[in-house]
Amino acid sequence: MAGQTSKSFVDNLGKIYGGYAGGFIGFVIVLAILEQMGVPNKVIGYCFVFLTIGVYAYIGIISRTMEISEYYVAGRVVPPFFNGMATGADWMSAASFISMAGGLYLAGYGGLGYVLGWTGGYVLVGVLLAPYLRKFGQFTVPDFLGVRYEGRTARFCGVVVLFCASFTYIVAQTYGIGIITSRFLGIPFEIAIFVGLLGILVCSMLGGMRAVTWTQVAQYIILIIAYLIPVVWLSVKLYGNPIPELAYGQVLDQIGQFEKKLAIVKPHAAAFVDAKGQFSWVEFNNFWALVLCLMVGTASLPHILMRYFTTPNVRDARTSVGWSIFFIFLLYFTAPAYAAFAKLEVYTNVIGHPISSLPAWVQNWSQVGGLLTIKDANGDGILQLAEFVINQDIIVLSMPEIAGLPYVISGLVAAGGLAAALSTADGLLLAIANALSHDIYYKMIDPKASTARRLIVARVLLVLVAIVGAAVAGTRPAGIIQMVAWAFSLAAAGLFVPLVLGIWWKRTTTAGAITGMICGFGVCLYYLIGTRYFGMAEWFGIRNISSALFGLPVAFVVTIVVSLMTKAPSKEMQDFVDSIRVPKGELHWVAGTAHD
């Protein structure tokens, strides 16, 4: 794979990754045998973390490149099936793998907003954006904005939004990496973050999009195996059914029985209810606001849209979206069952039991950054529900231990969570570094920069952003899923309107797009920061994880009004927009446009 990606490698992807999947399963079986032979759990944890990171690093090293097209768009040779798998890994971050089932554990049906929003967003990607950005054929989302809106200002605004959204997202992934490595390597959280960071940098720094693409395919295989095995195991153990989604109803019935005994006023199977168990319009509005913001945010995230620049042609880009949805579906369809099984295990084996005889996992996880606390508030020595406080970010990671599964399954889940966090962090870092090096440095500062210099700049910026992201994550600014939702809102408010209208409304003007981008993003950022850090009252009770609900309509209205008030784009530009929407044929490039 060194140098240009060979045709033989692409032609044999099925055999290569089939062998890789078989090898990984064999590796897990060997560790399971070693566990039965008495090998310490800590050794097994180290094997999972370091050997999986080592595989990713190896792929990054052998995929190193000095070719611009290879570094930015993987040479545009990635078949739709494998691009869909890589996109699934890029997409299913620490939020999806680690926190989503945890959110469902805590919120019950109310947490399904994350599943609906993140899945539904890919419909918008497939229908409105991916094929057309692929036909555009350049390297980055700001590239499109710079050409479509004819100038550096739109490109620069795009980079600012991209940086803010992607950096927020990176902090969340790094935080997840810190949790996993801290727990399974037994090192302080702040140090664990930087240990995991090394794996990210080796994969993305040397080979760019090419290395990240092939690494993400490997990471998807690990994360989906790791996610499915524990819940399938429990489903077989409790109900003799290897399909946990079909056992979901039985689990909910048992949870309902426990909730009656515990006098829980907000049942797991209830949605849109307040703390008193009554229907709440505020909860109803927040649910659908979250769904909307996550859907639109999905269709606006630069590191996801970049994935469709790597396919051979427009048709393959559209097909890739379909495969992406399928690979994401495998995890998302399982997440509600995962949360329900975890809650049932906690109700069965933890709540109501003597605190002195709680299983070892309680003590182990209580030492990881205060993410689990036990308090004997009434002094009776029996753990009550209110005395058991568990963070949503450790539900998935701790579930194998909660259910009493072999420790090798815990290590497997940790490897899966690490794969999810690393794969997304790779894509995000690459999106930021590419935007800064390609759209700012090359397009705006030094258009005559050599290929070698451009790649050096990209790699230096990648390292700097990674270090700063790790430092911020060390301050533990919020939960993973909250930080990810903020990133989606920022992207939605700042990028969705100029991208969609830039493709679908040729009357959109440069002034309209830039003004709309600034106003929409500004309103979203103002609401997010004000409610989070300065005690500002929520507007209509909407939580700041759905900040784009206010920025998005502002962006649409301002863009349309200003566009109608200003001179229409040139016929040349309108022909360019028309040509983007035609599946076949050449683009009608605007005269004087610099395209690589």
- Give the model's pLDDT for residue 530: 96
Euclidean distance between CA atoms 260 and 373, whole angstroms: 24
Q: Which SS3 state, helix, strand or coil, does residue 366 take?
A: helix
Please work out, in degrees rounded to the nearest 5, the angle formed at the alpha carbon of residue 449 by the alpha carbons of 445 and 454: 95
Please work out, in degrees rounded to the nearest 5, the angle formed at the alpha carbon of residue 219 by the alpha carbons of 215 and 223: 175
Euclidean distance between CA atoms 375 and 352, whole angstroms: 13
Which candidate, 169, 193, 198, places its Cα nearest to that of 182? 193
pLDDT along the chain (596 residues), means of 10: 52 81 89 90 83 76 59 63 84 81 86 88 85 77 87 90 90 84 78 74 61 81 89 90 90 91 82 81 93 94 77 79 88 90 88 82 74 80 85 84 85 85 78 77 78 77 82 82 92 95 94 97 96 93 95 97 95 89 71 51
Retrieve residue 548's tokens. Answer: 């784009």
Whether the Cβ atoms of residue 178 and residue 170 lie closer than 8 Å to each other: no
**Which H or E element spans position 388?**
strand 388-390
Place of tokens 């997440």: 335
- Give the model's pLDDT for residue 2: 41
How is 186-218 classified by DSSP, letter by letter?
T--HHHHHHHHHHHHHHHHHHHHHHHHHHHHHH
Which candidate, 338, 348, 379, 391, places its Cα nearest to that of 261? 348
Euclidean distance between CA atoms 396 and 338, whole angstroms: 8
Euclidean distance between CA atoms 513 and 151, whole angstroms: 12
Domains of the chain: 7-350+400-496 (1.20.1730.10)
Whether the Cβ atoms of residue 97 and residue 396 lie closer than 8 Å to each other: yes
How is 107-176 classified by DSSP, letter by letter?
HGGGGHHHHHHHHHHHHHIIIIIHHHHHHH--S-HHHHHHHHTTSHHHHHHHHHHHHHHHHHHHHHHHHH
Retrieve residue 94's tokens. Answer: 């620490």
Beta bridge partners of 471: none
- Give the model's pLDDT for residue 596: 45
The CA–CA distances, whole Å, from 518 to 444, 457, 500, 542, 563 equal 20, 28, 16, 22, 14
- Give the model's pLDDT for residue 184: 74
- Give the model's pLDDT for residue 507: 94
261 backbone dihedrals φ, ψ, rounded to 5°: -65, -40
Retrieve residue 387's tokens. Answer: 């005395």
Euclidean distance between CA atoms 123 and 37, whole angstroms: 49
Please work out, in degrees rounded to the nearest 5, the angle formed at the alpha carbon of residue 235 by the alpha carbons of 229 and 240: 120
Which candidate, 423, 438, 516, 542, places its Cα nearest to that of 176? 423
